[in-house]
Amino acid sequence: MSASKVALKRLQKEYKAHQADPPPFVWAKPNEANILEWHYIFRGPPDTPFAGGEYWGTITFPKEYPFAPPALRMMTPSGRFESNKSICTSMSEYHPGSWNVAWSVDTILVGLLSFMLSDEITTGAVKSTDTERRALATKSHAWNIAQPKFKAMFPEYATPAMRDLPNMSGAAPKPAGPQGEGKVPLMNGSTAANESGTMAADGAGPIRGQAKACAVLPSAYLREERF
């Protein structure tokens, strides 16, 4: 599948912006052979069960981007998401009706990291103890560098010792959901209130057969993109 001219231009612009000013604990790049396939790395923020961990995942954009949302996955075992399982959020393919064309790669990644730091359960998420998550964080880099795709996409990070990402000094996003300061409830397939009290409409509803709710990610961290 090849990108549309609009998608190509938009993703090239977003990659340039990301390289110039990446969010804290986040790094991403597109596959050189397919700009619709992006790979990202999260570093576990301090004072979380993921501290010291390195988490690799993918964003798969549709050719219609930015007019349709991407699919989100995390490959590295984390104790938060099922490995290589599509993650349901208000910014993912599960809910095209809640997608905003002004959202960008950085919007998606900061929102996903915020959701990772919460305890909300949605399709693609799992329940684990903090002890289990810390144990997986310790093993995460060794797991990543054993994966051929990770080594191909991030040769600069496929070293025996884990390397810092370009931005390791900023503040991590607050956890999404009722237990985080964002106070953002889960999407129930119709509408959900965000932290400002407005309603986020989901006209499409969840993918058929999905019983779990999808997480609505906090708008406080959204970085909008313009054409």
**Residue 215: what pLDDT?**
56
**Residue 210: what pLDDT?**
38
**Residue 1: what pLDDT?**
72
Q: Which helix (H) or strand (E) holds 137?
A: helix 130-145
Could you please report the per-residue DSSP string of 160-218? SSPPPPS--SSPPPPPPSTTSTT-PPEE-SSEEE-TTS-EEE-SS-SPTT--S-EEPPP
Question: Choosing from 11, 28, 72, 88, which is the catalytic residue?
Answer: 88
Q: What is the pLDDT of residues 43-63, one digit of tens each?
A: 999 999 999 999 999 999 999
**Residue 212: what pLDDT?**
46
Q: Report the share of the chain in percent with pLDDT over 90.
A: 67
Q: Which helix (H) or strand (E) holds 69?
A: none
Q: What is the pLDDT of residues 187-224, one digit of tens each?
A: 333 233 333 222 233 333 333 333 345 655 544 444 45
Taking the C-alpha atoms of residue 149 and residue 129, their distance in angstroms, rounded to an integer, is: 29
Domain boundaries, the chain: 5-195+206-221
Determine the topology of domain 5-195+206-221 in CATH: Ubiquitin Conjugating Enzyme (3.10.110)
The parts of the chain modelled with pLDDT lower than 70 are 177-227
**Could you confirm whether 214 is annotated as catalytic?**
no
Taking the C-alpha atoms of residue 94 and residue 74, their distance in angstroms, rounded to an integer, is: 16
Q: Which residues of 141-178 are buried (b: 16+ CB within 10 A; e: fewer)?
A: bebbbeeeebeebbeebbeeebeebeeeeeebbbbbbe
Name the residue with tokens 């988490």. 55
